């Protein structure tokens, strides 16, 4: 009467034999990476050899109730503009910023994050009770030895970054500091985005007994971020994978005179 085939009306979907294995794998990955969404979990599966369609992963994700709570967007005071001196190659523009946290007994932890804006690699996270201009220069000393000298470093106007010693050393090395407008964090989007991921996926999930434990946990997360975590802006490659496919064009390194501590910084960051 309705003009359709009986086989179509009475069809019952049959589950695939391997879907049970896939479902268990998705649940396992969701338990390990608690702040990943289904697209990033799908990217992790692909990296592990699972040739699955993203729609299928999404269906299982919804059936298992694994969706993350949606964040309410924040209102901005003005329209976000273009990023000045946008990086076009590896090690051309770095950005840095501080993040703070507490130990379980309320002790202060201050962390210096440095990110390559082109590859999205986190170059270092240094954890201390206090971080001033001297510690900032020690960190740069180590990074310059490892990566070379970038053309630009994007920064806010924190006292550690606008210190005369920091500006003089960077100017002498030929690395220009791009200071953002005070009170305009959207002008430094790469480090702000990284800070949000760092706090959401690491700091908010961990309780640190002391600074040494915090450095070990943070360094472990940094390596996972660079080598295991697919980045949506990089076509779901990891930052390390993307960086390996990029050219390297930096100037020769040189020591920062008057500021020792390269060996101490190297040992500190190898925890």
**Could you report the per-residue pLDDT of 137-158, keeping only the tens digit for each?**
999 999 999 999 999 999 999 8
Look up the pTM and report it: 0.75
Residue 16 to residue 137: CA distance in whole angstroms: 58
Residue 262, both tokens: 């390269």
Lowest mean pLDDT among 2-6, 30-34, 152-156, 259-263: 259-263
CB 101 within 8 A of CB 214: yes
Q: Is the pLDDT assigned to residue 114 strictly greater than 70?
A: yes
Q: What is the pLDDT of residue 252?
A: 39
Which residue(s) pair with 116 in the sheet?
94
Cα torsion 255, 260, 264, 268 to 10°: value is -70
Rounded to the nearest integer, the mean pLDDT of the chain is 84
Residue 10 to residue 150: CA distance in whole angstroms: 66
Region of 65 (left: φ > 0; alpha: ψ -120 to 50; beta: rest) is: left
Residue 119 to residue 90: CA distance in whole angstroms: 6
Residue 171, both tokens: 């100017």
Residue 247, both tokens: 């050219």
Residue 160, both tokens: 């550690």
CB 139 within 8 A of CB 128: no
Residue 187 to residue 181: CA distance in whole angstroms: 7
Percentage above 90 pLDDT, the chain? 53
Q: Is the pLDDT assigned to residue 247 strictly greater than 60?
A: no
Q: What is the pLDDT of residue 153?
A: 95
């Amino acid at each position: 009467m309705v003009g359709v085939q009986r086989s179509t009306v009475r069809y019952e979907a049959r589950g695939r034999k391997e879907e049970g294995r896939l479902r268990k794998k998705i649940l396992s990955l969701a338990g390990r990476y608690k702040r990943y969404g289904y697209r990033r979990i799908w990217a992790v599966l692909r990296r592990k050899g699972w040739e699955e369609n993203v729609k299928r992963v999404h269906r299982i994700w919804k059936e298992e109730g694994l969706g993350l709570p949606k964040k309410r967007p924040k209102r901005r005071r003005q329209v976000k503009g273009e990023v000045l001196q946008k990086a076009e190659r590896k090690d051309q523009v770095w950005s840095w910023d501080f993040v703070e946290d507490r130990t379980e007994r309320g002790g202060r932890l201050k962390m210096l994050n440095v990110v390559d804006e082109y590859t999205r690699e986190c170059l270092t996270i240094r954890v201390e009770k206090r971080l001033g201009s001297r510690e900032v220069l020690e960190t740069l000393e180590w990074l310059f030895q490892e990566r070379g000298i970038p053309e630009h470093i994007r920064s806010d106007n924190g006292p550690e970054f606008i210190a005369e010693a920091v500006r003089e050393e960077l100017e002498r090395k030929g690395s220009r500091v791009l200071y953002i407008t005070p009170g305009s964090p959207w002008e430094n989007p790469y480090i702000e985005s990284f800070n949000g991921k760092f706090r959401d996926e690491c700091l908010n999930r961990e309780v640190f007994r002391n600074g040494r434990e915090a450095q070990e946990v943070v360094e472990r997360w940094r390596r996972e971020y660079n080598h295991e975590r697919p980045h949506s802006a990089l076509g779901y490659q990891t930052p390390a994978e993307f960086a390996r496919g990029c050219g390297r064009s930096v100037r020769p390194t040189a020591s920062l005179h008057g500021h020792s501590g390269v060996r101490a910084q190297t040992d500190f960051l190898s925890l």
